[in-house]
Chain A
C-alpha cells in the first residue's frame, strides 16, 4: 500500500471518528433524558396543573405557554425576517450602507440571549407597558430569532438560479411578481429549514423570557396576549434552582425536559413534512 492510500485511509477514519463522537454525545443526551424523564411521563403529567408545591401533578400550562410563545415569536420573526431578506437580497443597491446593515444583522446573532431578555424587559415590558406577558415574550424571542431567519432566507434566495428570474423577466414579469411567483416558491424548502432551526432554538430559550413572559407557577392557562405564562425551559430552570423538594422536583424537571425535546422534534417533523411536500410539488 502506498503512502497516498494510507493517508486517505487515516483521513477517512478520522471523519468517521468525528461522526461517532457527535453521535455519542447526542445519543447519551437522549438516553440520559429518557431514563431520568420517562418515569415522570403520563397522561396526567401532560394534561394537568402542578400540585402540592410543585412536587406532584403535571406541566400542562408550561407546554401550552411554550407553544404560544414559540408560535408568537415565529409570527413576529417570520414576516419581518422574510421581508428583510427579500429586500437585502433582491432589491437593495450594493453599497456601504447595505453592507453595514448586513454586518449589524450578523452581529445581532452573536448577542447573548440574556441581553435580549434585558432589552425585552426595558422596551416591551416597561416602555410599551405590555407587562410580563406572552406578547412581550413573543416579541423578545422573535427578535432573537430574526438574524437566524434572515440569513437562512438569504441563503435560500441566493440559491435560486438566476435563470429562473431571467425567464420570468423575459415573459414580462415585474420584479415583484418574479419574487412572489418564482423565487420565493423555489426558495421555500430552504426557508422552511431555517424556520425549523429557529423553532428549535426559540422553544428552548430561557433567558429572554425570564424577565418578559415567564412565571414560576400559574393556576390558569394564559387568557390573553397580556397574561404571563409558564414555559417549559423556565419551568425546568425554576424546579432545579428554586425548588424546596429536590427529590420529587428533579424527576418532574427531567420529565419536562423530555417533553420539551419531543415538542421541538414534533414541530421540526411537521416542518420537514411540509418541506417534503413542497419539494414533491416543485422538484
Chain B
C-alpha cells in the first residue's frame, strides 16, 4: 500500500506557544487514514495540545500561537478559507473526562445535529439510534432515552460522548485520554470500540497507558518535552525502538 496516498492529516513543522512558553517544538507527523494512531509520552509533553490542534480547539486558549501547518486532506485547516465549524464537524473529539451535557441521553446525541441546523425529526431520531448502536450503548439506554445523561455511569457517559461525536458524521475522531477516569471494564469497552470504529474512521488517541497504545494502535508517536522523539508502526516502536529515549520511556526508566 502506498502510504503517501493514504495520509489524512499531515503535521508540518509545527511550533506551538502558550504566551512565551513553547509547548510543541518542530513537530512533523503523518496520520494515516482508517488507522489508529496513538500519541504517548509523559505528562506535560504536549500530547493533548498536539491533538487539539487537529480540530482547532487550541484557538480558544488566549495568548496561544501556532507556527507551521496542519494539513487535512491536502488543505491547511487554519487557512482563512476554511470555516472552524466545518473542521470540527469533520474532526470529532472525545475528552479526557466524560462531559455529557446536563440534558437527556437523546438530547445529548441529537445536540450536534441540531446546532448544525438539522431540522428533520425523523432523520435525527434515526441518527441518534444509529450513533448509540455504533457506540455500543444502545442496548443499555434504549428504554430510557429521556433520562438525564448524568445518571449514567462514567463508562456509559464516555460512550455517550462517543455517540454524540459520531452523530455529526466526522471522518476523524480524536480521543484525548478517553479512559483516564474509567475502570478497567469500561476501558476495555472503549478500546474495543476504537478497534471497531477504525474501519470507518481515522482515529488519533492520546494515552498515558502504554499497554493501551500497544493493544489498539497501528502507529505510535512518542512525544517528550514538546518534541517528537519517534514515530512509527506500533509493533516496531515497541519492540525495536530506534531512539534511546523511547526505549528508556517504554522500559519505565522515566515518565
In the bound assembly, the distance between CA atoms of A283 and B150 in angstroms comes to 7
Asked if B85 contacts A174 (CB within 8 A), the reply is yes
Considering only residues 142-190 of chain B, those with a C-beta below 8 Å from chain A are 148, 150, 161, 164-165, 168
A222 within 8 A of partner (CB): no
| Docked-complex contact A171 and B88, CB < 8 angstroms | yes
**Is there contact, CB below 8 Å, between B103 and A172?**
no
Known: A166-B95, A170-B88, A283-B150. A186 touches B102 (CB 8 A): yes
Interface of A is mostly: helix
A-B interface contact total, Cβ < 8 Å: 72
Q: How far is the CA of A119 from the CA of B5 in the complex (A)?
A: 72
Q: Which residues of B contact A177 (CB under 8 A)?
A: 115
Interface size bracket, B side: 20 to 34
Tell whether A283 pairs with B88 under 8 Å between CB atoms, given A171-B112, A177-B115: no
Q: Would B88 and A282 count as touching, CB distance under 8 A?
A: no
B99 at the interface (CB under 8 A from A): yes
Q: How far is the CB of A166 from chain B (nearest CB, A)?
A: 7
Q: Of the candidates B60, B92, B97, which one forms a contact with A171 in the assembled complex, judged by CB atoms under 8 Å apart?
A: B92
Known A-B contacts A163-B97, A164-B99; the reply to A171 vs B164 at CB < 8 A is yes
Q: Determine the distance from Cα of A139 to Cα of B57 in the docked complex, in whole angstroms.
A: 43
Chain A residues, CB < 8 A from B238: none
Interface hits, A131-183 → B, CB 8 Å: 161, 163-164, 166-174, 177-178, 181-182
Closest A residue to B96 by beta carbon equals A163
Bound CA–CA A151/B238 (angstroms): 55
**A residues within 8 A CB of B150?**
283
Q: Verify if A200 is at the interface (C-beta below 8 Å from B).
A: no
Return chain A residues, CB-CB under 8 Å to B148: 281-283
Chain A residues touching B, range: 20 to 34
A185 interface residue per 8 A CB criterion: yes
Q: In the complex, A23→B145 CA distance in Å?
A: 45
Task: Report whether B89 and A185 are in contact in the complex, using a CB–CB cutoff of 8 Å.
Answer: no
Contacts of A94 in B (CB 8 A): 62
Question: A172–B116 contact, CB under 8 A?
Answer: yes
- Does chain A have a CB within 8 A of B17? no
A-binding residues in B (CB < 8 A): 55, 57, 60, 62, 85-86, 88-89, 92-93, 95, 97, 99-103, 111-112, 114-116, 148, 150, 161, 164-165, 168
Nearest 4 pairs between A and B by C-beta? Answer: A171-B112, A163-B99, A282-B102, A170-B93
